[in-house]
Structure 1
Amino acid sequence: MTHSFHPVHSLKLQPELQQPWYNFREYPSNPRLESHVASFWTMDFRPVPGKPSHRVIPDGCIDIVVDLLSPSSRKAAYIVGLTTRSEVLQFSEARSLFGIRIYSESARSILKIPLSAFTGQRIYLEDVLGFKEMYWVEEILSATTISEIVAVAEYHLVRMLADSDIAMNPLVYESLQIIYGRKGNLSVTNLANQVHFSERHLRRVFNQELGLGPKEMLGIIRFQSTLQDFFRGGYSSLADLALKYGYYDESHFANTFKQYYGLSLRSLISKKRRSPIFPI
């Protein structure tokens, strides 16, 4: 089943960053995993003068990242939890990474513990799943093509989901489906009314399960949904785009954009107008 939410990432909006020394690509999952995995991705980087950076923006997902240059599987794979602000990573050494971007509601079944354990930090996969599960990371490190790497990841994700008897808190799961369906464009009060619980209880279970509150998750999904329209050019003006997603005005939209993206909306619009790949 296809997921209704599809996050956008910074390199789609900043194609000028794609250079021979810096390549980021995304790969779709097979139909069996579409409702669990937002995408697979690779990032290859060679250090060059000027200290180029890799921008990570909030997307409501968590990532399992495998360092393809690691000499050992035990420290090759780590988990990156939910984020609420953009992060700029500076690399001084060559990097070759493979990532699995997993929807929050499915990550609990795969990783067995609440996502709140990963908030604001990176944890080695071995410390979460145990040594017995690291053989599939060894298979990824031994693969010679990206298609082989994706095939290994898909096989083991399907297996792990089938074997799991652990699921996300039902209230958080139901709330996330509403948030996705409304593209984040509703208030915490409205969300609480729809799931028939108090705002206080909703905040408590969200923080226990995800490590962030419903307000933060609503903001991330709304921001990402807005980015989808911005990327496609599916709007007549920025004011209309802001109103469509419930921002008070264009200024409110710009301030929120800067918080989540780390760059001003004005600078991105300028890049968009100069880029032939963007619809105008």
Structure 2
Amino acid sequence: MLPAYYVNLPVGENAYFSRMEAPAYIRQLYMPVQPTVKQSGTDVTYRELAPDERLRNYIYCYWELKTTRPLDTDFIYRVVADGCIDIFFEPGHDTEQFVMGFCRKYTEFPLDKTFHYAGIRFLPTIFPQLYGVDAASLSNAATPLADVLPAAATFIRYRFAPGISLQEMKPLLDSYFLEVIAGTPFNYDVRLYDALSRILERCGVLDVEKELDTGISPRQLRRLFGYYLGDSPKIFSQVVRFQHILRARPSVQSLRQNKLFFDVGYYDQAHFIKSFRNFYGVTPSRAFGR
């Protein structure tokens, strides 16, 4: 259940979003990026697969990370900040089922020499809407799925055997989430989604204290963002700005010549590099170097 102060919030006569418009608009504005795997070449593959069309306003993608042959050394997988919540699991391994919450910085996962993980990446605000779970309680951590959603953990345990491919998982995941969504009473509060859309429309480059006046106090807006996204409007804006840079994929030369850090709201290059490294784990020159 949602906390009482988040339920039935008054929308007003000029509500911008309807029940279906809110997720569709957010999906149109936001396409989170995770870098491709480079560490082991073709020995480790990462792929994303779009869900059923009816799910695409709620789930950004299904994804798969796996080895194609045993590696010579253990593998470190880096996940960059993307503003989303993921469920991820290793088919056939009951203890390897987790929810990854909103993260303020990059996260590194030490993996074995062989592995096969799959995941579901939910668009911002959707996971708490579907399951009534406070996103802030999941932030900056990988929480065992059984502790958060026992029914989902059971579904994964009994439906996905070792060796199953992402293509084979897709229809099972589609069917499961279509049923979950059909039974979910969504609460698209216009003040939250108005603020969220402003951040996304501006690619995170805005003054959240002055440009997010959506009819509620900054404190209440922070509470809404905390519950539905996992962190404050300010931190979410910083992640969106970082993601905008990733999607633009600037070359190292253009980073130096075009002063991109000014265009996306950083006051100098040092500030830009520090922020980027916090979200990615390496400097921009290493991330975009050829």
TM-score range, shorter chain: 0.7 to 0.9
The residue type paired with residue 91 of structure 2 is L
SS of corresponding position for 1:17: coil
Unpaired runs of 5+ in structure 2?
A: 1-23
**2 CA distance for matches of 1:85 and 1:145?**
30
Q: Which stretch shifts more, 159-168 or 178-187?
A: 159-168
Equivalent pair of 2:101/2:138 in contact (CA under 8 Å): yes
TM-score (norm. length: structure 1): 0.82
The residue type paired with residue 163 of structure 1 is G
Number of the residue aligned with 2:84: 61
Unpaired runs of 5+ in structure 1?
A: 273-280
Percent identity between the aligned chains? 23
Number of the residue aligned with 1:124: 144
Equivalent pair of 1:47/1:92 in contact (CA under 8 Å): no
The alpha-carbon deviation at position 122 of structure 1 amounts to 2.5
The alpha-carbon deviation at position 145 of structure 1 amounts to 3.4
Q: How do 1:143-162 residues align onto structure 2 when only pairs under 5 Å count?
A: 144-162=164-182
Equivalent pair of 1:57/1:85 in contact (CA under 8 Å): yes
2:235 corresponds to 1:216:
yes
**2 CA distance for matches of 1:221 and 1:240?**
19
Are residues 196 and 169 of structure 1, via their aligned partners in 2, closer, same or farther at CA, if it must alter by over 3 Å?
closer
RMSD, matched Cα: 2.6
Q: 1:39 aligns with which of 61, 64, 80?
A: 61
The alpha-carbon deviation at position 53 of structure 1 amounts to 1.2
2:185 corresponds to 1:165:
yes
**1 CA distance for matches of 2:156 and 2:43?**
28
Q: How do 1:98-113 residues align onto structure 2 when only pairs under 5 Å count?
A: 98-113=118-133
**2 CA distance for matches of 1:265 and 1:132?**
38
Are residues 169 and 67 of structure 1, via their aligned partners in 2, closer, same or farther at CA, if it must alter by over 3 Å?
farther
Number of the residue aligned with 1:6: 31
Equivalent pair of 2:92/2:162 in contact (CA under 8 Å): no
**2 CA distance for matches of 1:142 and 1:20?**
21
Q: Which stretch shifts more, 77-86 or 201-210?
A: 201-210
Q: How do 1:1-280 residues align onto structure 2 when only pairs under 5 Å count?
A: 1=24, 2-11=27-36, 16-17=38-39, 19-45=41-67, 48-70=71-93, 72=94, 75-131=95-151, 134-135=154-155, 137-141=157-161, 144-167=164-187, 170-193=190-213, 195-230=214-249, 237-238=255-256, 239-270=258-289, 272=290
SS of corresponding position for 2:210: helix
SS of corresponding position for 2:41: coil
**1 CA distance for matches of 2:246 and 2:35?**
10
**2 CA distance for matches of 1:132 and 1:241?**
43
Count of aligned pairs between the two proteins: 262
Are residues 130 and 144 of structure 1, via their aligned partners in 2, closer, same or farther at CA, if it must alter by over 3 Å?
closer
Equivalent pair of 2:145/2:152 in contact (CA under 8 Å): no
Q: Which has the higher helix share?
A: 1
Deviations along 1:40-88, one digit per CA (max 9) or x if unpaired, are 1101136533443111111000101121141x4xx45321111011122
**2 CA distance for matches of 1:138 and 1:60?**
30
The alpha-carbon deviation at position 39 of structure 1 amounts to 1.4
TM-score (norm. length: structure 2): 0.79
Are residues 77 and 173 of structure 1, via their aligned partners in 2, closer, same or farther at CA, if it must alter by over 3 Å?
farther
**1 CA distance for matches of 2:92 and 2:48?**
19
